[in-house]
Amino acid sequence: MRSHPALLLLLPLLTGCDDTDFSNGHGGELSGAEGWEGVSEVFAIECVACHGVGGTAGLDLETDPCAAIVDIDAVAYGAKLVAPGDHQASVLWHKMADTATYGGVMPVSGAMDPAVVDNLAAWIDDGAPCE
């Protein structure tokens, strides 16, 4: 049996070794910025290895990530990647929140810190502004 990676990632946070350090637990450090700044930072650190120019599943999160996702239909799923104002209707949120509604979790290495996923939801619900 395999232990769930997300639980391992959360351990340092739960034990409270440093509550000011905002780490995604995958090796890259995130600033913890809110809104699009925080979302795009996650893409740059966690996603472009696979979703760069000409990326996996036709998803380029490098060239113009906001234009690539906002109001754009998913290639593999019958829904928008990001439906502005509604994170529950957004494939991107479901995949990062690991709801198993649209295939596996993104990034593939395991769900990120809940704060990252919550910021994504808040940004989408805020209308997904590209700034």
Residues 44, 49, 67, 130: which binds ligand HEC (CB under 6 A)? 49
Q: Does 87 bind ligand HEC (CB under 6 A)?
A: no
Q: Which is nearer to ligand HEC, 18 or 57 (CB)?
A: 57
Q: Which stretch binds ligand HEC (CB under 6 A): 1-9, 11-19, 24-32, 56-64?
A: 56-64
Note whether 93 and 83 are within 8 A (CB).
no
- 44 near ligand HEC (CB under 6 A): no
**Given 7, 67, 75, 130, the residue binding ligand HEC (CB under 6 A):** 75
Buried b (16+ CB within 10 A) or exposed e, 8-23: ebeeebeeeeeeeebb
Binding to ligand HEC by residue 23, rule CB under 6 A?
no
Q: Which of 115, 117, 119 is nearest to 106 (CA)?
A: 117
Contacts of 108 (CB under 8 A, 6+ apart): 50
Q: Which is nearer to ligand HEC, 16 or 78 (CB)?
A: 78
| Cα gap 62→14, rounded to integer Å | 32
Instruction: Output the CA torsion sign for 29, 104, 64, 126.
Output: negative
Give me the residues that bind ligand HEC (CB under 6 A), please. Answer: 42, 46-47, 49-51, 56-57, 59, 74-77, 81, 91-92, 95-96, 103-104, 106-108
